[in-house]
Copies of this chain bind each other. A is one copy, B any other.
């Protein structure tokens, strides 16, 4: 593999570990971080020597561009431990490619492949006790890049920081999810940054999502900003619809994030003989299908929950509930992908990556 370069990352070890204070049975997503973090600065036109240091606060100028102009992108990945204490990642090359695609769109310099992989592997080996065995348990990995240059000129920065921080995670149970289909607000413009994991895309969704919550929904499924007639994706998940026995999901374009879980679901479906249509989907088609009793499932796909079944949706003042279903596609995909991730099943796709 191209990324097997033998770069050795300097490590400054933390004097103590927080691990003994952590209740691994009661984790809140994304709030506790491991003892170390990976840091690499960009200046003078180049990424400098990366290093691993004790996890802790960082110092930035109040004028750092990330605060003012949102030059920031990130990734979300997970590490898993199998019964033999081996550590695995799931398709990390996809996340690597995607963070650089996001960076490019935000005028951030791309990050070197060997820094990314060596940094992550070195960090994970150091933090291996934080990765717990068992389906559902994982270490959530958050690579991100921020513009650090201290200047409020509205132009791309010439200094950046790339970091990786890690947070132990349990099986993510999102609760019963019902979604509001967006009729007024939108997430992304065509020609915009929707396909990038750009920080600003997320804050933009909070207010409309709060409004949906007030109406009793947990999330929003976004529609095209232009007509609100076509379904796009949810806040942190791509979305699939099962009409009859056909699985339908929107195509990737410059508005929709190219989800790693999404493309894995499509591959698993095809291997299992399930018909998949990747095409634009009208809200009306879904409404008609639910009324005709043909809409059997809706689910979201994403790194956090793998698959998140959606039990109902609201649109133009009407509320729709999906029928209960045995042998759901959602379960099939969740089980297949989760078992591959935890090295509990064959991996005919070559997705597992040993740390």
Contacts and interface: CB of A to CB of B under 8 A. Distances in A.
A203 to B, nearest CB: 4
A71 B198 CA distance: 12
A269 interface: no
A353 interface: no
Interface stretch (A13-21, A54-62, A130-138, A260-268): A54-62
Contact of A62 (B58, B67, B235): B58
B152 A70 contact: no
B31 A151 contact: yes
Nearest to A204: B193
A117 interface: no
B186 A235 contact: no
A3 B40 CA distance: 45
Contact of A163 (B37, B62, B192): B62
A203 B72 contact: yes
Interface stretch (A103-111, A245-253, A322-330, A333-341): A103-111
Interface string A97-140: 00000001111000000000000000000000000000000001
Interface stretch (A44-52, A153-161, A275-283, A307-315): A153-161
A182 interface: yes
Contact of A187 (B147, B192, B210): B192
Contacts of A152: 29-30, 140, 142, 165, 167
Interface of A: 28-31, 33, 37, 55, 57-63, 66-72, 74, 104-107, 140, 142, 144, 146-147, 150-156, 163, 165, 167, 182, 184-193, 198-204, 206-207, 209-210, 225-226, 228, 235-236
